[in-house]
Structure formats: structure tokens, C-alpha cells
Amino acid sequence: MSLKGKTLFITGGSRGIGLAIAVRAARDGANVAIAAKTAEPHPKLPGTIYTAAEDIENAGGKALPIVCDIRDEAQVQAAVDKTVETFGGIDVLVNNASAISLTGTLATDMKRYDLMNGINARGTYLCGRLCIPHLKKSSNPHILTLSPPLDFRPRWFAPHVAYSIAKYGMSLCTLGWAEELKRDGIAANSLWPRTTIATAAITMVGGDAITKMSRTPEIMADAAQVILSKPSREFTGRYCIDELVLRAEGQTDFSAYAAVPGTPDSALAPDLFLPDDLSALA
């Protein structure tokens, strides 16, 4: 199966992983709505919804750039309505938009707490709530949320409890929706990287050093394409890891994804929130 003719609604897809997923879907011939805030160039971050739309069109898809703050219900409703009006429906929701601050309690003021939870947990829930009526009409509907496997060990909360609450809130949406929407045939899955991913956001958080120990966003895009092409009634409620998804498809060489060509897998930095035994998620 491919995503040809399918319509994806992707949040925060003006750069990074979201954009990579959009471009990969476009290569199949998909329609992609990019719902993100960046209409004007950011002084520190590359890309806008309009440059993303150009990349999507150049890859062979159809693009709809929409200025949208997913914390605002009216804006999300308008973005969903515009997508349906333009492409005739929605087959896939990709909850990609996310805010991050790896700070402890005293270093995380309420404005930053509200930002992370407003975008990550609440934004994911809101987009799901407004897209589900349209997903119900699709022949192979999927919700894919970029969030980690549920793992409530203190080690994942103590250093940055506010961010962990916000990020696991996204994963809890997957948990609930997979069961709630099973009768409707809507798949709800999460996807998370085994290694850190070389994006502008990770560079801002960890600097050039961590970026050099990362993989490119294309590994997440390729894994997403595999998941979104699966029959929705047969593949749901999973917490997927990018590398494991591709290994299950027979891929064994991941060297092409290294942000710095030639970096061995052993030198790559593992991402947060990974279980000690990844085989449990395979």
C-alpha cells in the first residue's frame, strides 16, 4: 500500500520531522495540509509553512499551508475545515507539533509549563477530537502521534517533570484512542526515534555535539510511511520505534540516516524515554 491520493493533516510540519514525513508522503502522491504557526522566517529556525509547501509540491504531492496555533480551538477547526474543503476529507492525522524544555521544576515557570502542555498534550487531544469525524469516513484512517512508549520510571520524570507530563500526555491519547476508536477502524499509534534526531530543535536544546550523534529526520519519515500504509484495523495501539519498524520490513543498514556520514551506530545518542529492552516493543 502507499499514500497516493491520501490526505494528511500534519501539525507543526514546517521543519524537522514533520516536514520529512510530509515530503515522504508527497513522494507517494499524497495531499498534505501543514498546520503550523511559522508564516514568517524565524531568526533561529529554518523553514515556514510556505517553504514546506514548496518542498511537498516538488516531491510530487499537493500542499495546503495553513497558519494555525494548535492551542486555539477555533484556528484548528478552521484548519480542519479548510483541509476537507480543499481535498475532500482527511485520512491521516500526524500529531507532530511539540514544545520542549528539559528543565527542572524550579527552572520551569508556569508560562513554559502551559506552553508545553498546551501544545503537546492538549493540542494533540484537540486535533484528534476535530479530525476524528472526518477520519471515520476514510477507508484506511490513521492517527500517528510522535510520542514515546509509556514508561513511568522516575528517571524519565525527575530531570524534567513538566516536559515528561506533556509528552506522556500525547502517548496517553494513543492509549485511549486505540481502544475508543477500534470499532470505527481508526488506528492510533505512536512513533518515537531510537536515537536523537538532527533537527533545529535538538540543536537548540543540546548544541552541535548532540546533533553530530544523531540521525536525520528521514528515518522517522520512512518509518511513518510504513505505519500509515498498514491496514488500520490490524495495526493499532502500538508504541513504535523508528528503527524497529524498518527492521521489521527487512531493512538492516541504517548508515544512510547518520547526520554525520560515517558515524557508526554505536556512537549515536539514544533518545529519551526508551525502555532498557527494545525487543519488548518489536
Cα radius of gyration rounded to whole Å, the chain: 17
Task: List the end-to-end C-alpha distance of the chain, in Å, as a whole number.
Answer: 21
Phi-psi region for residue 62, left (φ > 0), alpha (ψ -120 to 50) or beta? beta
Cα separation values, 100 from 54, 92, 103, 164, Å: 27, 24, 9, 9
Look up 163 and say whether it is catalytic.
yes
Cα separation values, 274 from 137, 149, 235, 242, Å: 35, 7, 21, 12
144 near 96, Cβ under 8 Å?
A: no
**Grid cell listed for 143:** 492517527
CA-based angle 173:143:31, to the nearest 5? 150
123 near 11, Cβ under 8 Å?
A: yes
CB atoms within 10 A of CB 163: 24
Catalytic residue from among 113, 125, 163, 168: 163
* Active site positions, annotated: 163
